[in-house]
Amino acid sequence: MTRPAGPAAPGRSAFGISGTNAHIIVEEAPAATADGAAADSAPAEGTDTSGAGEPRPKVLTGPATAWPLSARTAAALAAQASRLAGYSAGAGEPDPADVGWSLATTRSLFEHRAVAVGADQAQLIDGIRALAAGTAAPGLVSGAVPTGGSVGRTVFVFPGQGGQWVGMGRELAEVSPVFAARLAECGAALAPFVEWDLFEVLGGVEGAPGLERLDVVHVVLWAVMVSLAAVWEAAGVVPDAVIGHSQGEIAAACVAGVLSLGDGARVVALRGRAMLGLVGGGGVLAVAASLEVVEARLVGGDVGLAVATVNGPGAVTVSGPVGALEVLAGEFAGVGVRTRFVPMDYAPHGPQVEGVREEIVGVLAGVVPGAGRVPWVSGLTGDYVDGVEAGAGYWYESLRGTVQFARGVERLGRDGFGVFVEVSPHPVLTGGVVESLEGLGVAGVVVGSLRRGDGGAGAVAGVVAEAYVRVSVDWAAVLPAGRRVDLPTYAFQHQRYWPSSLAGGVGNLRSAGLNAVGHRCSAPPWSWPTATDWC
C-alpha cells in the first residue's frame, strides 16, 4: 500500500471498564535541516510569515527579547518557570532568542501568564527565577486572564501635546521594521505640507527645527502615534474603537480610517501652521478637581477663561490669558486644590482660537473624510461619530471646543470596552482613563506604549508583555525569529480525584450501588476478576 503524502499520524484509543475513554494522536515531527533546526523554524530576518500572503515586517529585530509563559494555574506557572530556569542555565546555554521564539511558537496559551523581558540571558533567568519564587524582578510581568476569557474590547487612545521628548521614535525606527515602514509613509505624506524632513527632526540633525515649535511638535507627535498604532496592530492588539484627545484626534481619525494618511498630514500640518498665530497669547492651567468645582469657580469670573479639557473625574484644564490663570490658581490654592501650569504658551480650546477660524477652515477645505473601519469616539463630543462629518469645520471646532475625553472613556466603558492602550511616546492620559473606569466600577486594562527617554526594543517588549498577561498578543510577530529548540515539558499539577477510602471498606462496591441489582461482585470478600472471571 502506498503511504499517503504528509507526515505520519498514528492514533490509539482506549476504553476503560468505568466508562473513561482515552484517545491520542501522535504526528511525525517536521524534517530537520542540516543544522538540526526544523525546516519551518525560522522566517527571514525582519519578516513575519505567520499569515497568508506576502511576509509582513517584524515588530522587533532586537536587541531585547522576551520569554512568555502560561499555565492553567498559578502553581503550574511557577513550576514552569522553575523548569525553564534550570534548563536555560544548564549545559549548552541555549540562545535566549531561540528560547523566546520557541516559547512563542510551540506552546499552548493558558489563563495564567507571565513574561520575562531582558537584553541578555542573565536578566531573563533572573526574571523567571523570581517568578518561580513568587517575588518581583525588573522586566518581569505576570497576571491572569479573567474568568470568561476577556476583559472587554480594545480601545486605542491618542493624546494631545505633552508626551513629546527629543529623540522619541529614533531608536525604535532602528529596531522595528513595522514602525520604520509606517513612519516613512507618514514622512512621505507630510512632504507636500512641511519644509523640513521628519527623520531629520527625529534624529536631531543640525539645522532641523526643534520640538519647541508648535507647528513641528504636533506634526511629529502625529507621525509617531500613527506609527506606534501600526506596531500594536502588528503585535496582534487591534483596536475595536479609537478615541483622541485634542490634536491626538487627527491620529485617531487616521487609524480609524476616517482620514487618509494624506488628509491626516494635511490637517495636522496646516492647522498647526495656522495655530502659530496663537503663540504668546495665553496658557493652560491643570486643576485637580471635578468639572463641577471648576465651573463653579469660573462663573462670574474672567470671560477669557474656558474649560479646555476634561481628562477624568478629578482632572480638568482651563485655558486663557496667563494673568487670569494665575489669579485662578491662587483661588484654588486658598481652598486646598492643587494646580499646575501646562508648558505651552497659547490657549487652545477657548475664545482665543476664534481668531484663526477662517484660516483653518480655508486651508482644510480639501479634506475628504469617510466612514471609518472601526468606531471612532469623538474627543469633542464624547460620543460616537460617523466620520463623514470630520471635514474642515470639525477640525476647527475640535480646537475651539472643550475636549470631553472623560465622557468618551465613560461611554466606551459602559459599552463593554475594557482594554485601553495609550498610543503615544509617553503616557499622558492613563491616569484619567483609570479614574474614569474606576468610577464606573470597570476593572479595565490600561497600558502605555513608550516612556520618555526609553523608546527602544526593550520598551516595546515590556508594554507588549503588560498587555499579554491580560489579552491576546502575537509574540511570533513581535520577537526576532529564532530556531525552535526543545523546551522543558509542561509542569502538570497532579491532583487525585479518586476517594482515598470507601464507607464500607476498601474494595467494597456496595458504595457504588451494585448490591441493589444483585451484582455478584458486591458481596465480600472482593478481589479483581481474572481475565476469565469478569463480573
Residues 459, 517: one domain?
A: no
The x, y and z cell numbers of residue 238, run together, are: 487591534
Residues 33, 129: one domain?
A: yes
What mean pLDDT is predicted for residues 27-51?
50
Cβ(67)–Cβ(100) under 8 Å? yes
Listed range (362-366, 495-499, 530-534) with the worst mean pLDDT: 530-534
Residues 464, 530: one domain?
A: no
What mean pLDDT is predicted for residues 178-204?
96
In a domain, 495, yes or no: no
Cβ(310)–Cβ(402) under 8 Å? yes
Residues 248, 389: one domain?
A: yes
- Mapping DSSP to helix (H, G, I), strand (E, B) and coil, where does residue 14 land? strand
- β pairing state of 153-158 and 417-422: parallel
- Give the single-character DSSP code of 227: H
In this structure, what CATH number is given to the domain that contains residue 335? 3.30.70.250
In a domain, 395, yes or no: yes
Residues 231, 361: one domain?
A: yes
Residues 385, 466: one domain?
A: yes
Q: How confident is the model at residue 512 (pLDDT cuts 50, 70, 90)?
A: low
Examine residue 159 and say whether the peptide bond preceding it is cis (omega within 30 degrees of 0): no
Give pLDDT, residue 148: 67
* pLDDT above 80 for 210: yes
Task: Share the mean pLDDT of the chain.
Answer: 87
- pTM, two decimals, is 0.85
Domain around 509: 504-535
Tally of CB atoms within 10 A around 454: 14
Give pLDDT, residue 507: 54
Examine residue 4 and say whether the peptide bond preceding it is cis (omega within 30 degrees of 0): no
In a domain, 234, yes or no: yes
Q: How many domains, in total, are found in the chain?
A: 4
Give pLDDT, residue 117: 96
Residues 138, 174: one domain?
A: no
Listed range (26-35, 109-118, 427-436, 492-501) with the worst mean pLDDT: 26-35
Q: How confident is the model at residue 229 (pLDDT cuts 50, 70, 90)?
A: very high
Residues 263, 388: one domain?
A: yes
CA distances from residue 343 to 237, 284, 285 in whole angstroms, order as listed:
32, 8, 9
CA distances from residue 341 to 127, 286, 334 in whole angstroms, order as listed:
40, 6, 17
Residues 187, 266: one domain?
A: yes
- Mapping DSSP to helix (H, G, I), strand (E, B) and coil, where does residue 327 land? helix
Listed range (255-259, 447-451, 514-518) with the worst mean pLDDT: 514-518
In a domain, 497, yes or no: no
Q: How confident is the model at residue 149 (pLDDT cuts 50, 70, 90)?
A: low
Whole-number CA gyration radius for the chain: 30
Give pLDDT, residue 130: 97
Listed range (121-135, 161-175, 505-519) with the worst mean pLDDT: 505-519
Give pLDDT, residue 1: 52
Give pLDDT, residue 500: 61
Q: Which of 113, 144, 175 is the last residue of a domain?
A: 144
